[in-house]
Amino acid sequence: MAFVGFLTFGFTQTVCPRPPLSFRIDQINEGYVVVHGWAYMLASWNDHPVIADLTDEPTNPVYPPIDAGGKDASFLFQSDEEGLCTNIITPKVPSTSNDGIYFPCQLFDPKTTGGNIPGSSGYTNQTGCHKSQKARDSFKSMQEYGVPNGNGGYDKAGRVYYDWEDIAASTNLAVYNSHVLNLDLLQALPLDKFNVPALGLIEEALHGATPPLSGQDLTRVIASHREPGNQWRQEATCLMHILKVGEIDTKSVGCIASDVVLYLSLVVILGVILVKFVLAVAFGWFLSWRLGNFKEGGSYKERMQRDEEIENWASEINRPADVIRPQEKPRYSTVSNPYYSVGKSKRKTLMPRVSRFTQPEPGTTHFNGNPERPVSTIWRNSPSSRYLGQSMVLGDPNGSYASLRRPSDVTPPSRPSTLSDSSGMTNTTVAVCPFPVSRYAVPQPKPDYMPFGFQLAHTICLVTCYSEGVEGLRTTLDSIATTDYPNSHKLILVIADGMITGHGNDRSTPDICVSMMENFLVSPEEVEPFSYVAIADGSKRHNMAKIYTGFYKYDDTTVDPSQQQRVPMITIAKCGTPEEANDSKPGNRGKRDSQVILMSFLQKVMFDERMTILEYEFFNNIWRITGVSADKYEIVLMVDADTKVYPDALSRLISCMVNDEEVAGLCGETKIGNKTDSWVSMIQVFEYYISHHQSKAFESIFGNVTCLPGCFCMYRIKAPKGANGHWVPILANPDIIEHYSENVVDTLHKKNLLLLGEDRYLSTLMLRTFPNRKMLFVPQAVCKTVVPDSFRVLLSQRRRWINSTIHNLFELLLVSDLCGTFCFSMQFVVFMELVGTLALPAAISFTLYLIILAILGQPAIVSLILLALILGLPAVLIVMTSRKVVYVGWMFIYLFSLPIWNFVLPTYAYWHFDDFTWGETRKVEGSGKEQNHGDKEGEFDSSKITMKRWGEYERVRKIREAQERQRRLAAQRYYNNTRFNYFPSPHLNNNNSNILSSPYSSSRPSSPPRNFLPPILPLSSFSHRESEDDGWMDDYLDNPPEPLVLPDTRLPMPRYHMEDDEKSEDWEASVIRSMETSAKPPPSDPPKSPPPELPPKEGDSEDVSKSSTEQGRTVQQEVSEDDEASTTVIPHDDDDEEDEGDHVDNNNNNNNHNDDEHTTRRSTS
């Protein structure tokens, strides 16, 4: 700001100081007397000494009898003290002394020439010459201090100047080194008394040179005469001393530099303003209505009608919109492309029709390759590739599966995101989810189902919340659930940042979120917390969260039952560790941590990296509730919990993503739903409007929107690369997640980026990582939100926004790959915005200064014109693009509040540059002074968090299931042996039944066989210590349970704990030992007499040994087959035999994707 002030005012004063008082030659009036080119104000000076024979008392020289007013008195003050003319004009009589007087001491009129020049004959009368020392000292005093006036002060002498027009039009004036010389005065030189150099400059001037010397600048002419013996330079210096009548009106180098800077700044600023205006208008006219325009009938009248409906919808935050459901279109309907004119003939033109922003027509590619969507190979070689070959398609709500059909050559391509391995499997193979899928899951449509004319993409709708209440959450979730995008391809993900109870709420935010769900996979009372690595410093890096999985539960009072459809929903509630259970905000780690939970999860899914238990459960829950594996999702919509999206907003954003694979991020227009609540909300209406339709519209032309607002934006998780099945991670890029999940925030710059402006910093990271991809603004995708309606909350909000904006713009300045070069680049525009943001207080101060100057009658025309353009062009933009005249009225309200926007808010933000709290924006019930959520507390213990690959978790789960089956069989056989030994059964001779044999009894019928999928064993109690490779069995092997199982009763599934695994022995040995133990009778006192033996039937002994052998083989085969099905696809290196990397490193972030320490388990088959 100080630099801008110096550049505006101080720079000019420094390099071009204000010139002394100056008078143009025609401005000299009767009150002035000119001496050697300086005008002295003598009208009020009455102290001229007495002149003999002329005056009797001191008098004023400008009046009669002297009558010197308006005359030139240079000849009265001739002096050659410096000897400049001593060797040039020499007396003919060498012994004669002239005291430096070469001309008659007489007055002459400086405005006329010719006959007004004193004659040389008056040289001898030197009465008017001021040769006395007193007279010379008095004149020097006037030169230095000015002429004394009647007020006790001094009137400074003024410089007499001529224009070049005056010089060119005269016949007696010439210029030498910016000094104006009257060459006609040489006629008063008495040549009978003085000699001048022969063929010199004076002689040329006296006798008429050809061409004439007058009317031009002699500086170059004189400098070019360098012949030996030539004294033109010395003569010119002498003439400048005795013939000077003024100076030419020129500017110094500093003044020229000041003007250059001024006009260059003016051109640049005006250029940026006009270019932004013109491009914003072009965007509004030609591109805005095409982005996301997937519907037919896009006439101008229909667009205006839709805009009016949106304005009516946005007039009130609780006003519902008509729910739009997709209408089935023809399978081959043309997809609208914002950069491609549909339906127009391809005429030949001289101008190019394509650029780097031009997208290929539907069904084609830039490289004439396969038009089908590439498929992912990420999970091809993972341990879970058997499961993740393709996400299953639900055929009915009860979980039946339908086969995917391979798209034919004439069928519009589908969007598979996974591909089976190279062993011959094609995308006709449907992998079955290893878990029971919810019976309420929304069936997946056929691949060629395109209700909007474009391929559907699976999308996660992320809603981050902190202290919102029922009304805010209900508004947001209702709007997402009732969007027209198919429910089969959207998942609502709500992440509650801690067990927080908002101000005025009667329960915590996670409880409110869970109350808006139904049809849970696991009852909310049975959900257990899981550990993960949080974005914090110190002990708070370890955090725990609960995952609630189900479907969104509507409220009939807000959504009509006829419009309610099943939408899968997952709520992640960060509950904190047991150590922080008594804290005021347990589990709170900030919004950035909530976003990183999803981003880090997507990265690990895409690269098959080690997961925390929370992420493993998250992956499984997504698959079970949607029937689609997590790697199928390509897009993330990020919405704040107080935002309401328009019914077709999601579809329009996804349309842009699908139609243009170069798009990395999008944002829609955010409208204000409480415009008239207070004057604070009213002054924000136009500010929101112009920030979208001018700033973001201009940036969208270049594909570099610098800020995607966190309340309503969309990012691409991964993008297809070519037609060979490759994908490029975008939001799941490790570089982005590594920088965004920075947990050590110890500098002012980092704190402003990561604690205050995390949403904008994410956009900055996307531009920095992918400068050649597009970040666009889609005006047709609309949402509405509630803005602060009290000035105190507005101050807190803008403090965060302004400070984070400055630091993010600093980051963008370092991105050299943005489009354009030098002044014609986005980097230069970013620099201009940075300077403009820093200079906001100075700008409004200078504006008031210009207005005051204009009122006082000294207007700065150029600055006022610039100010008028800055403030007036937005009104023209509104009229030319949207034609919403009502926003012109909002603009005047905004203009009246400019001192608040440009002075109060920035000054407050700069004064609180070190405040990193959210202040009044989010208030929590019962909390004291808010602390920075990035502060360090304690030390992080990485051993509390276990990390494995998904396939390893699955191997553990399957081994446990096999162990459980083995335990059941052993327990059942142990019970049968005991019962049949002492309590013979009448069914022993039934040969048609399924029998279990023992050494001590005959066969008996078993319970009817049951075919069922064993329930999932949650990995909720994994050990917090290092696990051993051979620790698979539970403590029941060491302490067998009592055989209390009824023959026909299914045992309940117990929960397993990692602590038991760590204490257990090798699985194979334990299984064998359990089998041997189960074959022996229970320990008891031997009977006094042996029990009577039953007569053995033929083949009993053979059946017993066969049954025992086959039973052990069956169990081992089950384990081997299950393990092979899910965990032995990839052979691992021998170096990974020892498991030393199951825990998080203290010094690494949770997004570390280097799996050097990652190990495999010992084969169990």
CB atoms within 10 A of CB 443: 16
Would you call the peptide bond into 211 cis, given omega within 30 degrees of 0 as the criterion?
yes
Q: Cα separation of 854 and 857, whole Å?
A: 5
Tell me which residue of 885, 857, 855, 888 sits closest to 874, measured CA to CA: 888
Please check the confidence at residue 297 and state whether its pLDDT lies above 80: no
> Residue type for 566, please?
R
The tens digit of pLDDT for each residue in 1109-1142 reads 343 333 334 434 444 333 333 333 434 433 444 5
Q: Characterize the bridge pairing of strands 158-162 and 244-248.
A: parallel
Q: Cα separation of 793 and 797, whole Å?
A: 6
Task: Give the per-residue pLDDT at 905.
Answer: 95
**How far does CA 232 lie from the centroid of its chain?**
69
The contacts of residue 261 (CB under 8 Å, 6+ apart) are 7, 11
Global pTM reads 0.70
Return the domain boundaries, the chain: 21-250, 272-331+449-911, 946-1086+1101-1136
Beta carbons of 569 and 554 less than 8 angstroms apart: no
Q: Look at the block and give the residue holding tokens 């049975």.
A: 526
For 22, phi and psi rounded to 5 degrees?
-130, 145
**How far does CA 753 lie from the centroid of its chain?**
10
Q: How confident is the model at residue 988 (pLDDT cuts 50, 70, 90)?
A: very low
Task: Give the per-residue pLDDT at 40.
Answer: 93
**Is the CATH number of domain 272-331+449-911 3.90.950.10?**
no
Fold match, 21-250 / 272-331+449-911: no
End-to-end Cα, the chain, rounded Å: 73
Q: Characterize the bridge pairing of strands 244-248 and 179-182.
A: antiparallel
Task: Give the per-residue pLDDT at 415.
Answer: 47
The tens digit of pLDDT for each residue in 1073-1102 reads 544 444 444 444 444 444 444 444 443 433
Task: Give the per-residue pLDDT at 883.
Answer: 76
The contacts of residue 1019 (CB under 8 Å, 6+ apart) are 613, 616, 617, 953, 956, 957, 1058
Q: How confident is the model at residue 557 (pLDDT cuts 50, 70, 90)?
A: very high
Task: Give the per-residue pLDDT at 555.
Answer: 94
User: Cα–Cα–Cα angle for 803, 804, 807, nearest 5°?
Assistant: 90
Q: Characterize the bridge pairing of strands 158-162 and 22-24.
A: parallel
The contacts of residue 520 (CB under 8 Å, 6+ apart) are 548, 549, 550
User: Cα–Cα–Cα angle for 347, 349, 355, nearest 5°?
Assistant: 100
Beta bridge partner(s), residue 224: none
> Residue type for 463, please?
V
Please check the confidence at residue 1050 and state whether its pLDDT lies above 60: no
The tens digit of pLDDT for each residue in 12-64 reads 778 888 777 888 998 899 999 999 999 999 988 888 888 877 888 888 888 88
Q: Cα separation of 843 and 849, whole Å?
A: 10
DSSP letters spanning 43-95 = TT---BPP-TTT-SS-B-TTSTTT--TT-B-GGGG---TT-SSTTTSEESSTT
The tens digit of pLDDT for each residue in 230-282 reads 888 999 999 999 999 999 988 788 888 888 888 888 888 888 889 989 999 99
**Is the CATH number of domain 21-250 3.40.50.300?**
no
Q: Cα separation of 734 and 331, whole Å?
A: 38
Structural tokens at position 189: 């030189």
Q: How confident is the model at residue 1160 (pLDDT cuts 50, 70, 90)?
A: very low
Distance set, CA 166 to CA 128, 173, 213, 242, 491 (Å): 30, 8, 15, 21, 82
Q: Look at the block and give the residue holding tokens 């909350």.
A: 793
